[in-house]
Amino acid sequence: MKKYVVCPDSFKGSLSADKVAGAIEKGILAYDGSAEVVKAPIADGGEGTLDALVPRSERIKLTVRSTDGTPVEAEYGII
């Protein structure tokens, strides 16, 4: 059995890194149904970083102020 490690970043504006990894896994398994696929989504520190690092259940949403004082919605995660 072959083992594949899939570590994509997000496709900005269209798919999260987790969804990209799932699509790649689906393609690998269509080619080789006996393969073991390990998904490890990554991020470069920009858009999608929180998605790659923290499950949805471990996030806290809150209202903060931007640099000009305007209220904006933000979230952070606990690892």
CA dihedral 19, 45, 57, 13 (to 10 degrees): -40
The pLDDT assigned to 56 comes to: 67
pLDDT at 41 over 70: yes
Grade residue 49 by pLDDT with cuts at 50, 70 and 90.
Answer: confident
CA 72 to chain centre: 22
Span of 11-15, 55-59, 64-68, 75-79 with lowest mean pLDDT? 55-59
Residue 45 in tokens: 């520190």
pLDDT at 46 over 90: no
| Sequence-distant (≥ 6) Cβ neighbours of residue 4 within 8 angstroms | 28, 35, 36, 37, 38
Query: Tell me: the pLDDT tens digits for 22-34?
Result: 999 999 999 999 9
Between strands 3-6 and 36-39, the pairing is parallel
Whole-prediction pTM value?
Answer: 0.68
In percent, the amount of the chain with pLDDT more than 70 equals 96
